[in-house]
Structure 1
Amino acid sequence: MFVSLRAGLFVRVLVVVAVVAGVLAVLLSTAVAPRATEERDFGPPPINSKLAGAPPTSQYRVEGTGGAGLNLRACPDLGCVRVGKLGEGKPFTVECWQKGTAVSGDVRWFSGDAAGTKGFASGHFLRRHSGTHAAECGMPEAVLG
């Protein structure tokens, strides 16, 4: 059997089918594709075999305190408890840095160890002596050399 439709009715049916197909395509694509605002866990960062074990460290020295020395603090803030003091020219073994209270415009506070005492020291008074530049805490090792 052959059913004949008028041209106008045929065009209307095609338009309705196309609209329904378009709406279904949009609904299915948003249901399957991840949203840009969703956080996705990509797992831990790859481990460089040279860095396995202890975190990389750099040697810094205290400079620019005018002989007064540098306070070592429990956190990267001037209001944190003082856990030690570093004399002018003394070494500070740095693991990483993070942002904290600005000291003369420098917001970097280095986390590390000085003669067995762990704490944070203001980056304004530290100069790299050896090793690579310290990386931001939680970031891969810096490759600045």
Structure 2
Amino acid sequence: MVDILAALGLEEIAAGVSIIVGAIVAVWLFVKRVWPVVKTIPAGVVAFARGVITAAQVLDSVKGLPAFIERTDAAMAAVHHELHPNSGTSLNDSVRRTEARVSELGETADRLEEGVAGLYVKYEELAAVDDRLWQTLEPDEDEEETNG
């Protein structure tokens, strides 16, 4: 350090010391004169400053609102396209086709059920005819055993 001080001239050392002293005096003056004023600012001014900052933050966050609205409009248009009949590619068109086909299948199932019920009736009629035929072709074995 002695070498550094020896290399420096008296003017340079005086300038350095005056800069340090000036900084200390500036801090001391700030603490002595400015800080009491800052400390005594009314609460209304502080609240107003906070309100201005909050308003600025709100305005900053609203900047993205137009882009958000555009994205939302595009999404709603896509939903509208799917929920309303159009050229046959919407979800609405698909649901209508599915409902029509299910209705056709329900009618077919009803017809099949009626047909199967009719088959049961025919089966019972044919079973009765079959029983009568067997009775005419084969006499009762019980009657032959009692007669014989």
TM-score scaled by length of structure 2: 0.26
Q: Which has the higher strand share?
A: 1
TM-score scaled by length of structure 1: 0.26
Bigger relative contact order, structure 1 or 2 (CA pairs below 8 A, ≥6 apart): 1
Decide which structure has the larger Cα Rg and report it: 2
